[in-house]
């Protein structure tokens, strides 16, 4: 019966999105006993979620660096100019650079699997 009272006022807020924060807090308090044992897992899941979002947002940047400066052999500008001699000397650098994204995706996937 507690849940019915908590949910009865949900969505009747005066804000622009219709969210009633006191009603939302009542819902969280009502179901606290159910999700409290999983608080650590939920926290780790949110951390992995935000790490995945950050990695996905940065995905085009390494690809642009690989295409422009490794494959097309354009010199690095500005602060990254110190990497130019490294790319010219070592053919292994191309392989390492291309594998960097795959390794980061592997670790993100592994972290999300561990959090399950």
Q: What is the mean pLDDT of residues 5-28?
A: 69
Alpha-carbon torsion angle 23, 28, 34, 40, nearest 10:
170
- Which pLDDT score is estimated for 111? 80
How many whole angstroms separate alpha carbon 79 and alpha carbon 65?
14
Over the stretch 27-78, which tens digit does the pLDDT of each residue have? 989 999 998 899 899 899 999 999 989 888 887 877 787 777 777 777 877 8
- Which pLDDT score is estimated for 30? 93
Domains of the chain: which residue ranges? 1-30, 38-114
Its pTM stands at: 0.40
Higher pLDDT residue, 15 or 28? 28
For the cut 50, the answer to whether the pLDDT of residue 113 exceeds it is yes
The three-state secondary structure class of 101 is helix
DSSP string across 34-85: HHGGGHHHHHHHHHHHHHHHHHHHTTHHHHHHIIIIIIS-PPPPGGGGGGHH
For the cut 70, the answer to whether the pLDDT of residue 5 exceeds it is no
- Which pLDDT score is estimated for 57? 84
- Which pLDDT score is estimated for 50? 92
- Which pLDDT score is estimated for 2? 54
């Amino acid at each position: 019966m507690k849940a019915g009272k908590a949910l009865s006022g949900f969505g009747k807020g005066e804000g622009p999105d219709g969210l009633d924060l006191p009603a939302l807090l009542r819902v969280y308090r009502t179901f606290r006993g159910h999700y409290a044992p999983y608080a650590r897992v939920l926290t780790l899941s949110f951390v992995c979620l935000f790490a995945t979002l950050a990695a996905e947002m940065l995905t085009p940047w390494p690809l642009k660096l690989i295409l422009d400066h490794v494959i097309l052999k354009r010199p690095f500008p500005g602060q990254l100019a110190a990497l130019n001699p490294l790319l010219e000397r070592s053919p292994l650098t191309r392989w390492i650079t291309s594998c960097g994204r795959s390794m980061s995706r592997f670790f993100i996937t592994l972290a999300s699997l561990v959090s399950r």
